[in-house]
Structure 1
Amino acid sequence: MKKLLPLPLCAALLLASCNGPAATTAAPTTPEAQAKAAQDSLMAHHDRLMGQADRLIALAARLQASPTPPRPLLARMQAADNAMMSWMHQYSPPDSAAPAPQRLTYLQTQQRQLAGIEQQLTAALDSATAVARQLPADSAAPAATPKMRMDPKMKM
């Protein structure tokens, strides 16, 4: 049994060394690699914001069902959701045949736009969360499904 003990220890050390500093990836250096990294980063940012937008919609449904819906807040929430939806509708992945520096510039512009939308979503979420905490528990409406968008005709 004593002879088998070093084997798991060696395996653990080997695995730990694989995740060390040598395994970290360096920043992309070629324009093509930079454009690919920017595209991946943009899509990851979009995915994170969609999670925030889904929470925003669930909170909007709860606030809308409250006895006295906070209309100005609901309007800000609608505006944040509309900003996200507008960005998604206008976004078009850059043509892979376009020069990498041109694609990178476009993707960086899109990243800045998403950063602005993120600020809008975060502010609306923070305010909505604070208001929702003050609601009585029995006024909670069923949460909206993640695929549902806010109704543009929603009374505000």
Structure 2
Amino acid sequence: MAYLCGVKMFCRFAALVLLLPLLPGCLSLESDEEKEAAAEKKLMARHDELMARMDELYTLRQQLGRVPDTLAAGRQRRALLRADAAMMDWMHQYRKPADSVDHARTLAYFGQQQHRIDSVGVLMQHSIDSARVLLPAASH
């Protein structure tokens, strides 16, 4: 009897070990539509975060317009303008995929757009940081 219990326990353990690699696939309960919605939500959250900083770009550009017109100040104004234009370009080219577009293509599009909007964010941050460094030095 003890032998049979041991065999049953071993069989249960072996079955568990064999099924364990399949577990992550079973736990992924998110539908294709939910994955697409999550990718779009993340993308739009980044867009909204950057849009909230557009006033900052404008304000810094205005402040740089009031400092002596140096090569560095002109360069910074143009950098801020490029960041602004990059955001506008992203918004003008973005088109949410139609519901009829294949799931894999939709996710790939959202991934590509995430990369693009993140690049816009890097450009914005760099131009804002550089302008802030220049402004105190230029006002003296």
TM-score (norm 1): 0.65
Cα RMSD, aligned residues only: 2.1
Aligned to 2:95: 92
Q: Does 1:124 align with 2:117?
A: no
Q: Which has the larger radius of gyration?
A: 2
Aligned to 1:37: 38
| Aligned length in residues | 112
C-alpha deviation, 1:99, in angstroms: 2.4
CA contact (8 A) 2:68 2:138 kept: no
C-alpha deviation, 1:73, in angstroms: 1.1
Q: What percentage of aligned pairs have identical amino acids?
A: 29
Q: Does 1:74 align with 2:54?
A: no
Give the aligned residue type for 2:80: M
Contiguous gaps of at least 5 residues in structure 2: 1-26
- Residues of 1 paired with 2:92 and 2:57: CA distance? 19
- Residues of 1 paired with 2:28 and 2:121: CA distance? 25
C-alpha deviation, 1:94, in angstroms: 1.2
C-alpha deviation, 1:29, in angstroms: 2.6
Q: Whose helix fraction is larger, Structure 1's or Structure 2's?
A: 2
- Residues of 1 paired with 2:28 and 2:47: CA distance? 21
- Residues of 2 paired with 1:57 and 1:113: CA distance? 22
Aligned to 2:50: 49
Contiguous gaps of at least 5 residues in structure 1: 1-25, 138-156
- Distance of aligned partners of 1:82 and 1:114 in 2 relative to their CA distance in 1, 3 Å threshold: same
Aligned to 2:114: 111
C-alpha deviation, 1:64, in angstroms: 1.1
CA contact (8 A) 1:80 1:124 kept: yes
C-alpha deviation, 1:66, in angstroms: 1.9
